[in-house]
Structure 1
């Protein structure tokens, strides 16, 4: 991809740059996505922030609530069920 020059512009009380659509498409970015910024050797590096998908075990690793289970099935008619 060819290098583009980006201009820093005033954006509300801060400053911002606009990313070209070609870059957005190349990296599968959309409005609202987050980028992590690193400064390395006087160079700004932007990296798309990817949320790690947790496994079920990872999601419950720190859970310390109740783990009791009970059957809640009933054959009673409780509403307007049609059989």
Structure 2
């Protein structure tokens, strides 16, 4: 099943390098109507799907690495 256009746009926006996080959140809200928490939850769900990996492999793998780094750092702090 192909990745729907709104999900594709969200992943592309989320994977861009933004100078300030607030700008990303504003752009995501404008483009998708999702608030930052909702968008983060949606991105985390999407990057685990095969459709997203097939549609945007570079972006999905980058976001997976970022998520894994965050999980490792939280384990070290705990």
* TM exceeding 0.5: no
Q: Which has the higher contact order (CA 8 A, sep 6+)?
A: 2
TM-score (norm 2): 0.27
TM-score (norm 1): 0.26
